[in-house]
Structure 1
Amino acid sequence: MKAALHIKYDKKNINLTITEIAKPIITDNQVLVKVTAAGVNPLDNMISRGEVKMIVPYKLPQTAGNEVVGVIEELGSRVSNFKLGDRVFARLPLDHIGAFAEYVGVDSEALAKVPEYLTDIEAAAVPLTALTIMQALELMGAQAGKTIFISGGTGGVGGMAIPIAKAKGLKVITNGAAVNAERVLNLGADRFIDYKTEDYTKTVSNVDYVLDTLGGAETEKQMSIMKKGGHLVSLRAMPNGAFAKRMNLPKWKQILLGLAGRKFDKMAEKYGVHYHFIFVESNGAQLQEVADIFSNLEIKPSIDTVYTFDEVNAALDKVANGRSRGKTVLSFE
């Protein structure tokens, strides 16, 4: 079968090598998925550049791709929750990625059924982002009735975070460009802030939770609007010791990341809040919950560009260098 491989870590070259490899042989707990679409993410480029080696040290060559949609063609002997022909999607397990291939073997616990109203291309935009939100809310200990601030909620992350947070009973405040206000309010946001005309640090306070999608100087600004004891989860800042411990990384990595994230721990201490960093993991049960929420609301993820599998390197370049108004997806059809 054809697959796109990470051959070596290279900070200056994110290109993958398309080659023929053996079709996966599945274990008793896995299913064989014929890939129909795959989401293309900044994470794919970060892996190529060696930027996540500290968290997941892949043994190269490695089939690339973290986010998959496809049809089950073979079932492991212990798999009982799926059947042949099911249309499924997943954020693939960290230690077993490989969405950029004609087939992939997937642990059944990582999978969920694709909502019927979504095309394969649309479905490819869901798992990684949606699971990030679910796991961030879990890390926050988010409770219905409390308030969350989602920074930069007009992007792809916000497009999923807002309806999921609302489905969990949270009050949602977000900010972004005014041109997107109506769309964001239609997703369920309770309050929209135009970042050009309103400084949220002056007009928002007592927030219980923050989903930081921006990083940089915005992380501290967001801490300043929170209640004492609140929880901020960052998708863009720095891993810390608590993150390393949660990921069961070796002791030496816990020490290194503890030092790397110390600045953010200190910052959180200054504001009396909790700082968390997240690296999304596979979880079929959480993804199924998202699929059910989305089926009720019929949310359509926004898609920017669809490439063929042979154009994988153009897709990766688009994610690295192009301005996106939605998800970049590979189609295998």
Structure 2
Amino acid sequence: MQTVTYSRFGSPDVLTLSDAAPTSPRSGHLVVRVHAVSINPLDSKIRRGDARLLSGTKFPKTPGLDFAGVVEQVGEGVQGFQVGDAVFGGPGSLKVGYLSERISVPARVVAKKPKSLDFEGAAAIAVVGLAAQAAVQAARIKAGDHVLINGASGGLGPYALQLAKRAGAQVTAVSGTDGVALARELGADTVVDYKREAITESGRTFDSVLELSTRLPFSEARVLLKPRGVYVDLEPGPAKLIGATLQNPFRSQQHRFVIVQSPTAALEALGRKVDAGELRPGPTRVFALSEYRRAFEVAEKGGLVGKVVVRLA
């Protein structure tokens, strides 16, 4: 069984492909033959050691927070799954990754794969789809709101854009040049190419700012917020969490955070939206397992439209 691991924090150069012992089903777990795994920005933070308070420091580690594959074994106490089921799933813990040919994963973070998606497509939706839903909920977006989505054509942006539009918002999407067409296709009312225009100099204000690019901190985004606007942050570091908790009660502009969870019920709901055509998946760029290091380099370079997926089967 091949698996990608690393034994110290660092760049993609620390990643290695090696053989690992076969997995066995634990109580409450499924053994899944993995067909595809996607790469998320959080993978890079964990591998660099920037999230060690949540991911721990025990090595070796395996990257990959969401996956799709086929159930091979069902552990004791698991209901609702059987051998041969096509499934997808998200993180049960930031201490465990899925970039391996076979994994043992808690059944509570797994759901049946959306019928309308292949394995590569299904592997790419769990983290970003659920994070987008949580971001829209955190911002309390409603009909008529003016919403700014910074990073609208990355892995998460296309989902947040669609969900905000379905809520009835007027959406301004900030994207790189390569993502402008996608943002327009998905219904953005205004698209700003950040390579040509600085949104912070536009003079416009918004009911909420969804910061998906990691490049626009709250301190700089406040000029874009209405007096009671909400800034949604998907990178909750300890210092930011403490600062926002202490300061939010004393200011009208709010700094809120999203922490992604992937229970089966939420994954099932996400899959139904995709199958019903209510949520269009973002684009993917697929690499073979043998290209694993290159896949991470491309994902971390920035400017990518959509997500990177590693195909294992």
* Structure 2 letter corresponding to 1:40: I
What is the one-letter code of the residue matched to 1:46? K
Match of 1:275 in 2: 255
Aligned mates of 1:315, 1:173 — CA distance in 2 = 30
Distance 1:222 1:15, change over 3 A: same
- TM-superposed deviation, 1:37: 0.4
Aligned length: 311
Match of 1:219 in 2: 218
Gap change, CA 1:321 and 1:185, over 3 Å in 2: closer
3-state SS of paired residue (1:63): coil
Q: Is the 8 A contact 2:54 2:95 kept in 1?
A: no
Partner of residue 290 from structure 2, selected from 307, 310, 321:
310
Once the two structures are superposed, residues 91-137 of structure 1 have per-residue CA deviations (whole angstroms, 9 ceiling, x without a partner) of: 22125523111111122221122222212112222112112112223
CA distance 1:241–1:288, shift in 2 (3 Å): farther
Contact 1:92 1:106 (8 Å CA) reproduced: no
Contact 1:58–1:95 (8 Å) recurs in 2: no
Q: Can you list the C-alpha shifts for 1:16-46, whole angstroms capped at 9, x where unaligned?
A: 2322222222233221111000112332232
Q: Do structure 1's residue 162 and structure 2's residue 161 form an aligned pair?
A: yes
SS at match of 2:99: coil
Structure 1 runs not aligned, ≥5 long: 244-257
Q: Which moved more, 1:105-114 or 1:134-143?
A: 134-143
Match of 1:292 in 2: 272
Residue identity matched to 1:72: V
Contact kept? 1:33, 1:103, Cα under 8 Å: yes
Query: Structure 1 pair 73/211, CA: closer, same or farther in 2 (3 Å)?
Result: same
What is the letter of the counterpart of residue 204 of structure 1?
R
Alignment RMSD, CA only?
A: 3.0
Cα deviations across residues 263-313 of structure 1 (Å, max 9, x unaligned)?
x965x6786211123343333322222222222226242123x22223222
Distance (whole Å) between structure 1 residues aligned to residue 188 and residue 239 of structure 2: 33
Give, as a single letter, the amino acid of the residue that structure 2 aligns with 1:294: V
State how far apart, in whole Å, the 1-side matches of 2:49 and 2:288 are: 25
Question: Conserved in 1, the CA contact under 8 Å of 2:12 and 2:296?
Answer: no
Q: Counterpart of 2:31? A: 32
1:45 maps onto 2:26 in alignment: no
Q: SS of 2:157's equivalent? A: helix
Counterpart residue number, 1:65: 64
1:321 to 282, 301, 304: 301
8 Å Cα contact 1:40/1:328 also seen in 2: yes
Q: Alignment partner of 1:313: what SS?
A: helix
Equivalent position of 1:139 in the other structure: 138
Taking structure 1 as the reference length, the TM-score comes to 0.80
Moved more, 136-145 or 45-54: 136-145
**Partners of 1:130 and 1:290 within 8 A in 2:** yes
Give the deviation of 1:211 after TM superposition: 0.8
Aligned-pair CA distance for 1:70:
0.5
Q: Is the 8 A contact 2:28 2:107 kept in 1?
A: yes
Question: What does 1:44-193 align with in structure 2 at a 5 Å threshold?
Answer: 44-95=43-94, 97-143=96-142, 146-177=145-176, 180-193=179-192
C-alpha separation in 2, matches of 1:322 and 1:172: 23
1:299-330 deviation line (CA, Å, top 9, x unaligned): 242123x2222322222222233753332211
Q: Distance in 1 between matches of 2:163 and 2:216?
A: 26
What is the CA distance between 1:50 and its match in structure 2?
Answer: 1.2
1-side partners of 2:216 and 2:94: how far apart? 33
Q: Secondary structure at the match of 1:159?
A: helix
Note the C-alpha offset of 1:179.
6.3
- Gaps in structure 2 of 5+ consecutive residues: none
> Which one is further off, 209-218 or 97-106?
209-218
Question: When the two structures are superposed, what TM-score results if normalisation uses the length of structure 2?
Answer: 0.85
Aligned position for 2:6: 6
Distance 1:321 1:202 in 2: 27
* Distance of 1:281 and 1:187 partners within structure 2: 25
Residue 177 of structure 1, CA deviation: 4.7
CA–CA separation in structure 2 for the residues paired with 1:168 and 1:287: 20
1:316 alignment partner AA: F
